[in-house]
Amino acid sequence: MADAEILVDARGHRCPVPTLRLRKALEAAPAGAHVRLLADDPMARVDVPHFAAEVGAAILSRDECEGGFSFLVAKP
């Protein structure tokens, strides 16, 4: 079920927790899965793209929403 979106809500947590939760979700997901990370730590703007590049994941979208950020990440 690679086209179902997996939601990881890490709002209220400071880095590195959002990135660690994203890593865990990506590891558990099948190839090609989409994981949406919600975070409100300003460092997520830097940490999430860096992490995605490190593991070869693609950031499909990044938006500001509800006082935080939403990243849609595709697992390679």
Distance CA 49, CA 57 (A): 9
What element of type H or E holds 68? strand 68-74
pLDDT on residue 3: 62
Residue 32 DSSP one-character state: T
pLDDT on residue 1: 45
pLDDT tens for residues 11-47? 999 999 999 999 999 999 999 999 999 999 999 999 9
pLDDT on residue 66: 77
Measuring CA to CA, which residue among 39, 42, 1 is closest to residue 20?
Answer: 39
Model confidence, pTM: 0.92
